[in-house]
Structure 1
Amino acid sequence: MKKILVVDDSKEILEVIELILGAEGYEVNGLWDASKLNQRITDFNPDLILLDVMLGVLDGRDLCNLLKNNKLTNHIPVIMISASHNLGDMKDRICHPNDFIAKPFDINNLINKVGAQLAA
């Protein structure tokens, strides 16, 4: 079973994504406190990370950059999610996510993008 780590500071968004992807047969783990990201990655060992851009005091683009520049995590696909940013904004922070989903997201689009990254 493929494991997906969802990082979003909105517990409601976490619950919705956990329900949607859980129903698709994925093991989903939600994290609303992004300061615990590295420990959760170590504990959960995800196959994919869904990462919100705005995470309270932290910026998901900076976290994406750290993940992509760390040899222990750079193999994990990262899909950025944002209501206020677009894929072009990712380049401002030298963040190179594997994909991007705008909020509010279409459920089928979420399922298709997750499936495509996990099949790659």
Structure 2
Amino acid sequence: MKKRLLIIDDDSDLQDVFSFVFEESSFEILPAYDADNLESKIFDFKPDIILLDISLGLDDGLVICKYLKNFEPTKHIPIILLSAGIVDDETIDCGQDRIVSKPFDVDYLVGVVEDLCQKKII
């Protein structure tokens, strides 16, 4: 069974890259370009993991992450934050499971996603 990956990033070019890379890695992908209707997307798609950009135009990825990690139905879903700046898990704490800085090595990102999917308690 394919793992499901929700990717929340407002960069359409990057969404195309994510879709290509993760579909090749046997993931089912749902792209989201903002936080509109996010709860219904999560409830309908049932992602195993979420990639979440910190900067989403009008939406704040850190606020979204904190909300999802404090919301009972979604708090178990691993979240990887994507940041255009260099940050680490000690600088930012919104409940994320990992932070990956852009630009990123594709193989590294796939490895992080696969590792968190394996650790997820189902």
Same fold (TM over 0.5): yes
Cα shift at 1:37: 1.4
Aligned to 2:97: 98
Structure 1 length-normalised TM? 0.93
Aligned to 1:79: 80
Cα shift at 1:39: 1.5
Aligned to 2:107: 108
* 2:51 is the alignment partner of 1:50: yes
Aligned to 2:29: 28
CA distance, structure 1, for counterparts of residue 115 and residue 6 of structure 2: 16
CA distance, structure 2, for counterparts of residue 108 and residue 54 of structure 1: 23
Structure 2 length-normalised TM? 0.91
Instruction: Determine if contact 2:51/2:81 at 8 Å carries over to the other structure.
Output: yes
Instruction: Determine if contact 2:5/2:28 at 8 Å carries over to the other structure.
Output: yes
Report SS of the residue matched to 2:36.
Answer: helix
Cα shift at 1:114: 0.3
* 2:107 is the alignment partner of 1:118: no
Report SS of the residue matched to 1:5.
Answer: strand
Aligned to 1:67: 68
Report SS of the residue matched to 2:73.
Answer: coil
Instruction: Determine if contact 1:53/1:85 at 8 Å carries over to the other structure.
Output: no
Report SS of the residue matched to 2:82.
Answer: strand
Paired AA for residue 115 in structure 1: E
Paired AA for residue 92 in structure 2: M
Instruction: Determine if contact 1:82/1:103 at 8 Å carries over to the other structure.
Output: yes
Cα shift at 1:42: 1.1
Specify every segment of 5 or more residues in structure 1 that has no aligned partner in the other structure, as ranges: none
Q: Report the aligned-residue RMSD.
A: 1.1
Aligned to 1:14: 15
Structure that is richer in helix per residue = 1
Specify every segment of 5 or more residues in structure 2 that has no aligned partner in the other structure, as ranges: none
Instruction: Determine if contact 2:34/2:59 at 8 Å carries over to the other structure.
Output: no
Identity %: 34
Higher deviation after alignment, 29-38 or 6-15: 29-38
Cα shift at 1:36: 2.3
